[in-house]
């Protein structure tokens, strides 16, 4: 990627709603070129999604947990499908090592959380599971896009 493309990505990471004119002005590139480069990034799946980061506690969703889950290999695919389809799952990652999945879940209250955890444990042969309650979100979606060789 060229330097200007890295700069466009950096601006979009700061705020995906930033206007093309604003990006154009900041990186000293014509608006039409910025537009073309962003379209190219979207078509190549370099940019896969534009989302809003939500403060769930302000909406009354105060139970934020992460699970580390190890399941019997024969149930891994079914568990993956179950987790992908669960409305309370905010993020899901398949991992290697001691656990198969990292699962971020969000619930309004402890009762909803416990119901989900019970259903998970009843439905699958969980070999190992660690539950971590998120106390405070200190940093999220803030990876700074840098050129490959640039270190800060």
Q: Give the CATH number for residue 19.
A: 1.10.10
Same domain for 93 and 126, yes or no, is yes
Same domain, 21 and 77: no
Same domain, yes or no, for 65 and 37? no
d(CA 26, CA 39): 19
Q: Give the residues across from 91 on adjacent strands.
A: 104
Residue 152 lies in a domain: no
State pLDDT tens for residues 30-81: 999 999 999 999 999 999 988 888 889 899 999 999 999 999 999 999 999 9
Other beta carbons within 10 Å of 134: 13
Angle at 91 (CA atoms; ends 100, 80), nearest 5 degrees: 40
Pair 125, 75: CB distance under 8 Å? yes
Tally the C-alpha atoms within 13 A of residue 72's C-alpha that lie toward its C-beta.
Answer: 7
Q: Is position 148 within any domain?
A: no
Q: What is the mean pLDDT of residues 108-137?
A: 93
pLDDT over 60 (residue 102)? yes
pLDDT at 150 over 70: no
Q: Judge if 99 and 30 occupy the same domain.
A: no
In a domain, 48, yes or no: no
Contacting residues for 51 by C-beta, under 8 A, at least 6 apart: 16
């Amino acid at each position: 990627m060229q330097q200007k493309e890295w700069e466009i990505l950096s601006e979009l990471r700061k705020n995906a709603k930033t206007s093309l004119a604003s990006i154009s002005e900041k990186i000293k590139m014509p608006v039409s070129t910025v537009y073309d480069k962003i379209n190219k990034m979207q078509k190549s799946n370099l940019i896969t999604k534009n989302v809003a980061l939500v403060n769930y506690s302000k909406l009354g969703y105060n139970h934020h947990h992460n699970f580390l889950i190890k399941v019997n290999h024969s149930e891994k695919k079914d568990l993956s499908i179950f987790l992908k389809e669960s409305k309370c799952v905010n993020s899901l990652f398949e991992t290697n090592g001691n656990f198969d999945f990292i699962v971020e879940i969000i619930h309004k209250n402890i009762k909803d959380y416990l119901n989900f955890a019970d259903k998970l444990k009843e439905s699958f042969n969980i070999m190992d599971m660690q539950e971590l309650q998120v106390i405070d979100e200190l940093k999220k979606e803030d990876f700074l896009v840098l050129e490959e060789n640039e270190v800060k």
